[in-house]
Structure 1
């Protein structure tokens, strides 16, 4: 990537920010999720520390950084997916709509219904397209007036209805990779979440399918808060309003711990980052 070399100007990275929407004011739109001094452990190992960040409603936030810096660990902590890993624990506080999601008496299943997850590799169930979308509402005993309408609504919001409306009884496994990922997004939408987490949702897709997912994210942000983990700097610049950069530090024993370095408006992060480590990473000098 080319860097600016004007005298007295911080280098930065030339990325296309022309399509990026400006970040909203967190005080105006209100926070969806707030992380206060969050640390995540896997048994005795401190995997990530010092996470303080706020995700505003109806924004796309991108988490970037080298492998092993804790991006996905933080993402999974936001809806208690780490609970499913033996020995994992979270310290600090993660508040969703003002409630500590790790607080006593909080139902982890309800947290995951309201904060949905889309994984790196498309993972449709070996069921029909229809049953994939209907699965979540059924297993969570959602009150649904008309399941057909709900399935159609979710598929429309995931921009795949027109492609599958005549084959709803067919196996979801017959869809292309990009279609499968949009189906998985529809499956997440079907449970009526407020937040959608995406862990490198385009890494297994071709450029055309990737563009469709990126366009879809912009549309979905009108209704949902989206947090995405990505290794693609151009993608972070294209789809997000805020970007967080994580890095990993090794102790004297060689154990690596991730930490949040910087979290700011995407345009500022990619043109004039506050921390030299961020500048080095996005300009390709390390990572």
Structure 2
């Protein structure tokens, strides 16, 4: 068993079979069960003090796949996403029960450092959040603070910006403030900043919600390019986006407490995206995607 402390590295797992690594989006040719799952969530329950926020979620995230989590507001999908790299550790009163594994190792085990987890499971937030630094220093920040061994920081910055489809737009202004970029460029910069630390998994929490349609299209195209190197898990309120970019989709809903009115999120259905949008098993899924509620 690999020691998952801050000074250690998570195992990267066996390489995915090429038939599973490159495929059309929306899951049209995927096997029913995710092959070689990078991460698993088993019997996940999340509490904020006494409030039961998420109930008994079970998911598996396939290697080099894009998984979308959809559902109405307050259904727990962002809470589940934050559990995947222990971001909920930063929320006072948050408590996670069940098991979240990365390459079959429990990321909530006592000796696992959450900083080490986040080096391998990066996150892109809903609102672009570049640091008050230059474009170059935004990308270099993660490798520098984590002590990552880099032969050439210049090469790493260029590689990361190229991977985020941003290099050609910023290569002549790397020393300028990141705040001078457009909203869509800032979001791609944040993706490049995440890529710079060489993660295995990229989490995206509604990455296009504050962007215009053109910028959204660029981010969606970027997701498709990145899937050959990363496992991507997104939360989105945009069902059309989930249908366009994802291989598998998890639909969540919220169950109100009759006494308190508090809403507990729960997973209703998880399947290939084509099944969720064309032939869902649960009528609640069908009602949501056809606009009957939510």
| Same fold, judged at TM 0.5 (above) | yes
Match of 2:62 in 1: 56
Match of 2:84 in 1: 78
1:176 aligns to 2:182 (yes or no): yes
Output the CA distance in 2 between the equivalents of 1:186 and 1:28: 27
Output the CA distance in 1 between the equivalents of 2:59 and 2:88: 19
Q: What SS class does the counterpart of residue 202 from structure 2 fall into? A: strand
Query: Which blocks of at least 5 consecutive residues in structure 2 are unaligned?
Result: 1-23
CA contact 1:23–1:59 (8 Å) conserved in 2: no
Output the CA distance in 1 between the equivalents of 2:152 and 2:226: 22
The alpha-carbon deviation at position 252 of structure 1 amounts to 1.9
Counterparts in 2 of 1:127 and 1:70: CA distance versus 1, 3 Å: same
Which residue, 272, 275, 293 being the options, matches 1:286? Answer: 293
Q: What SS class does the counterpart of residue 165 from structure 2 fall into? A: coil
Counterparts in 2 of 1:188 and 1:26: CA distance versus 1, 3 Å: farther
Match of 1:216 in 2: 222
The alpha-carbon deviation at position 104 of structure 1 amounts to 1.3
The alpha-carbon deviation at position 214 of structure 1 amounts to 0.2
The alpha-carbon deviation at position 108 of structure 1 amounts to 0.3
Match of 1:123 in 2: 129
Output the CA distance in 1 between the equivalents of 2:32 and 2:223: 19
Output the CA distance in 1 between the equivalents of 2:270 and 2:54: 15
Q: What SS class does the counterpart of residue 102 from structure 1 fall into? A: coil
1:274 aligns to 2:281 (yes or no): yes
CA contact 1:68–1:248 (8 Å) conserved in 2: yes
CA contact 2:27–2:272 (8 Å) conserved in 1: no
The alpha-carbon deviation at position 145 of structure 1 amounts to 1.2
Match of 1:6 in 2: none
CA contact 2:27–2:274 (8 Å) conserved in 1: no
Runs of 4+ in 1 over 6 A off after TM superposition: none
Query: Which blocks of at least 5 consecutive residues in structure 1 are unaligned?
Result: 1-17
Output the CA distance in 2 between the equivalents of 1:85 and 1:23: 39
Which residue, 82, 99, 106 being the options, matches 2:112? Answer: 106
The alpha-carbon deviation at position 24 of structure 1 amounts to 3.7
Output the CA distance in 2 between the equivalents of 1:220 and 1:67: 28
Q: What SS class does the counterpart of residue 31 from structure 1 fall into? A: coil
CA contact 1:60–1:227 (8 Å) conserved in 2: yes
CA contact 2:25–2:247 (8 Å) conserved in 1: no
CA contact 1:280–1:286 (8 Å) conserved in 2: yes
Output the CA distance in 2 between the equivalents of 1:129 and 1:222: 25
The alpha-carbon deviation at position 31 of structure 1 amounts to 0.6
CA contact 2:40–2:58 (8 Å) conserved in 1: yes
Count of residue pairs the alignment pairs up: 270
Counterparts in 2 of 1:19 and 1:100: CA distance versus 1, 3 Å: closer
Which residue, 157, 164, 168 being the options, matches 2:163? Answer: 157
The alpha-carbon deviation at position 85 of structure 1 amounts to 0.4
Counterparts in 2 of 1:23 and 1:143: CA distance versus 1, 3 Å: farther
What TM-score, normalized by structure 1, do the two folds share?
0.92
CA contact 1:23–1:242 (8 Å) conserved in 2: no
CA contact 1:61–1:226 (8 Å) conserved in 2: yes
The alpha-carbon deviation at position 21 of structure 1 amounts to 4.8
CA contact 1:24–1:56 (8 Å) conserved in 2: no
